[in-house]
């Protein structure tokens, strides 16, 4: 399993993780248990997903030493002004003493509260209760403000990223600032992308499924990647991406799949969902 170094105190993140958006808490307990049995060591949840309890139960029952696991959760939008309390509530639902990564879920630029929230995350980090801190859905503009005005640069920005929406500008910005790019909806939510004829050609060439081709592309780009599945065979399939390498020509071919209107999820500049 590949790991990437974060910009904070030598903390490493397993490059392939397991996402649990839209998974009810009891199902999350089952599928995280399956994922940990398959070999995943990194789980991505959020307060907004309503499944931190199930994730925590699976993590605690796994028998895997806590330091070998990487658990991420996120500060939900209505909690920007009470981040320390919200963090305590997440820890308590997870039943853990610390998380490996705590993220601001959305920047909500019109509310102007993300810097205040970030200062609370810095405090949580200094207390050792989050081994690393980062953001999600931040744009060049909102990230620049954090970098310029806060003391700690976010270690990761988790953003929508898949072959139809490749986020080149954000990836370049992250690289220039020592921030890791983490891809959400990395399989395009399993919709049209996985049936694309270009992926069928590569699937045939490498003897790998379209999902494995896409995940391998993310790995070779240097993204942290967190596919979600509640299907045991797919959970296993998505982990099978470390035994082959896409050649440069095929990386370029997937690079050419980018579209100008490929976004599936909300636009961070205008998304103000309060739950
Ligand atoms: N920070 C943020 O704002 C956001 C973060 N996220 C995070 O990213 C994670 C992943 O993103 P998500 O939106 O869930 O979408 P993904 O791109 O991971 O796709 C998940 C969908 O693809 C299907 N699928 C999974 N594996 C395969 C496969 N091998 N073959 C065919 N279909 C497959 C799943 O079906 P099934 O489950 O039925 O097997 C599910 O419907 C989330 O779970 C969450 O942790 C997501 C959105 C926003
Ligand atoms: O999954 C997440 O982390 C999200 O933020 C999304 O659910 C997002 O809120 C959304 O897509 C709502 O439609």
In a domain, 226, yes or no: yes
CA of 88 to the centre of ligand 1 (A): 27
- Which residues 6+ apart lie within 8 Å of 244 measured at CB? 206, 208, 216
Task: Give the CA dihedral 160, 162, 164, 167, nearest 10 degrees.
Answer: 60
262 domain-assigned = no
Of the listed ligands, the closest to the CA of 184 is: 1
Residue 263 covered by a domain: no
SS3 breakdown of the chain: % helix, strand, coil, rounded to 5?
Answer: 45, 15, 40
- Give the position, in ligand 2's atom list, of the atom nearest the Cα of 137: 5
- Judge whether 275 lies within some domain: no
| Confidence category of residue 109, pLDDT binned at 50, 70, 90 | very high
pLDDT at 243: 98
Domain assignment present for residue 264? The answer is: no
Q: In 5-82, which residue ranges form alpha helices assigned H by DSSP? A: 25-38, 52-61
pLDDT for residue 249 is more than 90: yes
Q: For 76-81, what is the mean pLDDT?
A: 97
User: Is position 49 annotated as part of the catalytic site?
Assistant: yes
Residue ranges in 39-70 assigned as alpha helix (H): 52-61
Structure tokens at 117: 């929230």
Q: Domain tally for the chain?
A: 1
Residue 143 pLDDT grade (very low, low, confident, very high; cuts 50, 70, 90)? very high
Q: Is residue 123 part of a domain?
A: yes
113 φ, ψ (degrees, to nearest 5): -110, -5
Domain of 158 in residue numbering reads as 3-255
Write down how long the chain is.
Answer: 275
Long-range contacts of 140-144 (CB under 8 A, 24+ apart): 140/169, 140/170, 140/173, 141/109, 142/107, 142/109, 142/114, 142/268, 143/173, 143/177, 143/179
CB of 78 shorter than 6 A to ligand 2: no
CATH, residue 249: 3.20.20.100
Residue 151 DSSP class: S
Residue 46 alpha carbon, nearest atom of ligand 2: 3
Residue 269: pLDDT band with limits 50, 70, 90: very high
Residue 142 structure tokens = 């909102």
Q: Is there an atom of ligand 2 within 6 Å of 159 CB?
A: no
Question: Of residues 40, 49, 125, 164, which has the active-site annotation?
Answer: 49
Task: Give the mean model confidence (pLDDT) for residues 47-57.
Answer: 98
Ligand 2 lined by 183 (C-beta under 6 Å): no
The number of the ligand 2 atom at minimal distance from the alpha carbon of 21 is 1
265 Cα to the center of ligand 2, angstroms: 7
User: Tell me, what's the pLDDT at 9?
Assistant: 79
Pocket of ligand 1 (CB under 6 A): 19-21, 44, 105, 136-137, 158, 184-190, 194, 209, 211, 226-231, 234, 237-238, 265
* pLDDT score, position 8: 85
pTM for the structure as a whole: 0.98
The rounded radius of gyration (Å) of the Cα atoms in the chain is 18
């Amino acid at each position: 399993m590949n790991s990437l170094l974060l910009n904070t105190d030598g903390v490493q993140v397993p490059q392939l993780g397991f996402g649990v958006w839209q998974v009810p808490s009891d199902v999350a307990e089952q599928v995280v248990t399956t994922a940990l049995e398959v070999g995943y060591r990194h789980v991505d949840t959020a307060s907004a997903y309503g499944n931190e309890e199930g994730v925590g139960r699976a993590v605690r029952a796994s028998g895997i030493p806590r330091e070998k696991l990487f658990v991420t959760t996120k500060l939900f939008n209505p909690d920007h002004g009470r981040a320390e309390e919200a963090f305590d509530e997440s820890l308590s639902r997870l039943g853990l003493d610390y998380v490996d990564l705590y993220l601001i879920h959305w920047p909500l630029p019109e509310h102007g509260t993300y810097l205040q929230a970030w200062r609370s995350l810095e405090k949580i980090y200094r207390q050792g209760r989050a081994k690393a801190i980062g953001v999600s859905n931040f744009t060049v503009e909102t990230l620049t403000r954090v970098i310029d005005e806060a003391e700690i640069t976010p270690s990761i920005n988790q953003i929508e990223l898949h072959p139809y929406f490749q986020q080149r500008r954000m990836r370049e910005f992250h690289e220039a600032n020592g921030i890791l790019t983490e891809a959400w909806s990395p399989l395009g939510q399993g919709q049209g992308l996985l049936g694309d004829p270009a992926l069928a050609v590569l699937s045939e060439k490498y003897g790998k499924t379209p999902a494995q081709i896409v995940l391998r592309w993310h790995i070779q780009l240097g993204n942290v990647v967190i596919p979600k599945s509640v299907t045991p065979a797919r959970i296993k399939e998505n982990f099978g991406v470390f035994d082959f390498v896409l050649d440069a020509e095929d990386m370029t071919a997937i690079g050419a799949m980018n579209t100008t209107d490929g976004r599936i999820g909300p636009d961070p500049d205008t998304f103000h969902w309060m739950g």
